[in-house]
Amino acid sequence: MHLWDPEPQDLLALRDAAKRNHLGLLGEEDEASTVGGAPSRLSMPGRQGPVATARGLPGKDWNDEQRQKTAHLIKRQRLHIRDLNHHHEAALERLKQAAERQLRALQAEVQQLRDQLRRQQELNASLEAQRQTHSEPLERAEAEMARLIALQERERGAQADEQRRIRQRVDELEAELSACEERDRQGQEDVLRVRHEQEQLAARGVEQALEKLAALGLTFVVYHPGAGHLTIPLQDIACYQENPMAYVAAKCSVSEDRYRQWLSHFQQPTCEAVLPGGGRCALPIDRVDSPQRFVTGESGCCSRHKPGSRLRTAG
């Protein structure tokens, strides 16, 4: 495996060099031209005069042997390259099959979550229909009670027995109304509970999907001035969503207020000093590129309004 691995152009270069034959060696063509008696002298290319015939040099048999060895070596190298290609293709196919299996598993899990969500939505619709069904008797009871109250007002002064009957009916209707209100309240609580469970289930499904993607090597990257591109671990996503500014400020080793002041300065590098008339100086100043180097009350001011400059002016 440590022997010379010639390229096709290397073998062609050797062949061309042998054809030029600057050493005056006898090759196959030279041997063919000396049939019937070897010449006693050879002419060297680029020289004049006789040159002694090379003795003891390999002839056609030696050339055939070298060609066979070269062909054998090339064949071995081609077989080796073919084996490497087969090995690479097999490894690539295994990786592809593993990725497809993981993808199918994720798709099946997502479909399962969708089915659970659909069932929860159907249950929610059923509870909503029940709530509407309960609300209809409530409306009828309210209308009936209003009618009876109106009747009671019109027939005021009638006999006491009729008044007691009407009052009893009113009490019954009030009890029925209270029961309907209780059922309506319970139905609303059931709807809210199902919605909460549905939201928890959906959030858990998203969290599990994110965990699967993170296990497959997916990373979550955000960009913020002063911090650059931040890779957020899966366990920090909730913290980042709750307060991105505080998260980035912690990454920059500064407080959130200081980071916000620096960000305002970074986006619009002008003097923030307040003039006697109430307006801002707004003179362009040099931008501080790092939150750590930003000094509150100084970095955001021009040379006239820096604290040190005001002290010198007062002195």
pLDDT at position 22: 63
CA distance 114 to 95: 29
State how far the Cα of 113 lies from the Cα of 111, in Å rounded to an integer: 5
What's the half-sphere exposure (Cβ side, CA atoms, 13 Å) at 96?
Answer: 6
Domain boundaries, the chain: 100-215, 221-314
Q: Which pLDDT tens digit goes with each residue over 143-192?
A: 888 888 887 777 766 667 777 777 888 888 888 888 888 888 887 887 77
Q: Which amino acid is at 221?
A: V
pTM of the model: 0.36
- Is residue 59 pLDDT above 70, yes or no? no
Contact 287, 269 (CB under 8 A): yes
CA distances to 136, 143, 152, 166, 172 from 148, in Å = 18, 9, 6, 7, 12
pLDDT tens across 201-258, in order?
555 666 676 777 667 766 788 899 988 998 888 788 888 888 999 999 999 999 999 9
Tell me the HSE value of 209 on the side-chain side, using a 13 A CA sphere. 16
CB 151 within 8 A of CB 166: yes
Mean pLDDT of the chain: 78
pLDDT score of 207: 67
Cβ–Cβ under 8 Å, residues 128 and 191:
yes
Q: N- to C-terminal Cα distance for the chain?
A: 85
pLDDT of residue 266: 92
